[in-house]
Amino acid sequence: MEKHIAVLPGDGIGEEVMEQALRVLKLIADQYGHRFSTTKALVGGAAYEKFDTHFPDETNAICRSADAILFGSVGGPVSEMHLPKWKNCEANSILSLRKTFSFHANYRPVRVIPELQHLCPLKKEVIERGVDILFIRELLGDCYFGEHKTFNSPAGVRTATDLIVYDEEQIAAVAEVAFKAAQKRRGKVTSVDKANVLDSSKLWRAVVKEVALGYPDVILEDMLVDNCAMQIVRDPSQFDVVLTTNMFGDILSDAAAVLPGSLGLLASASINKDGFGLYEPPGGSAQDIAGTGNANPIAQILTVALMLRFSFALETEASAIEQAVETTLKEGYRTRDIARAGEADQKIVDCKGMSEKILDHLAVKASIR
Ligand code: NAD
């Protein structure tokens, strides 16, 4: 297979973790006989320094000519947020990409790896029932794209409104994504809304039910968002695919992101209706550890697996990366963010050291396939 990938490392740890992810991509290409060419482009504060904008036209053009986008993370240190280089950096970069390419569905897998159970804040007996959830979040609707208004009421009271808008086509499109994903997993979709209050949620629930008729092999369950927030903490094992709106998905998937134990372990994908995708770790630029060598490259390496699976339908290669990561963790290799004080069997490695081990396992696996 021959594919071209736009690579946008961004700021902070973006460059260092992307370097390791690209080593994994190269090894996969060599071992499985693919040709993946890459073009780097600036985004975020790194782009602002050169172009006075967080998402330059040049970067846009490179993304447009690619088959997929690998994205690192953007944003500056909290103490410098007022500077033009960092002000609105995340929104300008990520929302511009979302709008430009109409990414309508966000995939965020959240899994607790047995070897890292101790990092999960839930009780042992709850984790042992299994935590393996795929969040599918709608990305182009809701109050994020509806009208925002701040005004003085006739009585002179400061007032603000944010309009939630969903149409049935938007809902059906993302529901299709969730049902198809559930067919390849454990066959259950939990659709999360606030249908006891919101009209947009009543429409959401009705349309999801209609879409479900085309997937008789998948079980559909409806859940109110407030209950879902409780259930994620009480018993996450009940969830397979969680399908939800833009705002509920933003909040629920971030709450669940704490379960695996580090942002350095999570990857996500944003896909449009043509199957074009952007792959990124949901964490930020981690300015507190940038340049120290302590960044965990696993999140970015797993974005490569998601890209191979969703954009290029290379399931074997995607699973090989995921298995190599898991084996490396089983052997006790730990970056600082996932290390456990006093654990004798662990081997502390830096960002490059972790990816070296993952590369070793990939090379062995490919040579015996
Ligand atoms: P953050 O996600 O960057 O970091 C939160 C904590 O997680 C930090 O302690 C960090 O060291 C740790 N962490 C994150 N990724 C890690 C990794 N791969 N390995 C080891 N540890 C990791 O959040 P923050 O510190 O609040 O934000 C820093 C900047 O990132 C801000 O400018 C923020 O706006 C931006 N941000 C960007 C994105 C994005 O690009 N998608 C997302 C969130 C935040």
Q: What is the CATH classification number for the domain harbouring 58?
A: 3.40.718.10
Q: Which helix (H) or strand (E) holds 207?
A: helix 199-212
Stretch 117-139: mean pLDDT, rounded?
95
Do 255 and 125 belong to one domain? yes
Please give the pLDDT value at position 367.
67
Q: Which helix (H) or strand (E) holds 98?
A: helix 96-101
How far does CA 63 lie from the centroid of its chain? 18
Going from the Cα of 286 to the center of ligand 1, the distance in angstroms, rounded, reads: 4
Going from the Cα of 254 to the center of ligand 1, the distance in angstroms, rounded, reads: 12
Stretch 274-298: mean pLDDT, rounded?
96
Identify the band that residue 93 occupies on the pLDDT scale cut at 50, 70 and 90: very high
Please give the pLDDT value at position 95.
84
- What number does the ligand 1 atom closest to the CA of 287 have? 28
Q: Which helix (H) or strand (E) holds 227?
A: helix 225-234
Going from the Cα of 367 to the center of ligand 1, the distance in angstroms, rounded, reads: 36
Stretch 329-339: mean pLDDT, rounded?
95
Do 135 and 205 belong to one domain? yes
Strand, coil or helix: 3? strand
Do 5 and 105 belong to one domain? yes
* pTM beyond cutoff 0.85: yes
Ligand 1, residues at Cβ distance < 6 Å: 13, 17, 73-76, 90, 94, 262-264, 280, 283-289, 295-296, 299, 337
Stretch 169-174: mean pLDDT, rounded?
98
Q: List the residue whose alpha carbon is closest to atom 44 of ligand 1.
A: 284
Q: List the residue whose alpha carbon is closest to atom 5 of ligand 1.
A: 286
Instruction: Give the number of domains in the chain.
Output: 2
Tokens of 18: 């992307």
Cβ contact 235:129 at 8 Å: yes
pLDDT digit string, tens, across residues 236-268: 999 999 999 999 999 999 999 999 999 999 999
Whole-angstrom distance, CA of residue 325 vs CA of residue 334: 11
Do 130 and 238 belong to one domain? yes
Stretch 125-146: mean pLDDT, rounded?
94
Pocket test for ligand 1, best of 79, 336, 337, 352 (most atoms within 8 A of CB): 337
Do 130 and 250 belong to one domain? yes
Do 153 and 255 belong to one domain? yes
Going from the Cα of 290 to the center of ligand 1, the distance in angstroms, rounded, reads: 10
Please give the pLDDT value at position 267.
97
pLDDT digit string, tens, across residues 177-191: 999 999 999 999 999
Do 147 and 66 belong to one domain? no
Q: What is the span of the domain harbouring residue 225? A: 121-259
Active-site residues: which are they? 144, 194, 226, 250, 254
Higher pLDDT, 92 or 343: 92
Identify the band that residue 368 occupies on the pLDDT scale cut at 50, 70 and 90: low
Looking at the predicted structure, is the pLDDT value of residue 292 above 90? yes
Q: List the residue whose alpha carbon is closest to atom 40 of ligand 1.
A: 73
Pocket test for ligand 1, best of 18, 69, 285, 338 (most atoms within 8 A of CB): 285
Going from the Cα of 13 to the center of ligand 1, the distance in angstroms, rounded, reads: 9
Burial (0-12, 13-18, 19+ Cβ within 10 Å), 125: exposed
Looking at the predicted structure, is the pLDDT value of residue 332 above 90? yes
Whole-angstrom distance, CA of residue 190 vs CA of residue 365: 36
User: Given 225, 259, 293, which residue is the final one in a domain?
Assistant: 259
- Kindly report which listed range (34-38, 94-98, 346-350) carries the lowest average pLDDT score: 94-98
Looking at the predicted structure, is the pLDDT value of residue 335 above 90? yes
Residue-level length of the chain: 369
Do 101 and 128 belong to one domain? no
Cβ contact 256:205 at 8 Å: no
Stretch 194-219: mean pLDDT, rounded?
98
Q: List the residue whose alpha carbon is closest to atom 18 of ligand 1.
A: 264
Do 237 and 274 belong to one domain? no
Please give the pLDDT value at position 366.
64
Please give the pLDDT value at position 213.
98
Do 105 and 154 belong to one domain? no
Cβ contact 229:193 at 8 Å: no
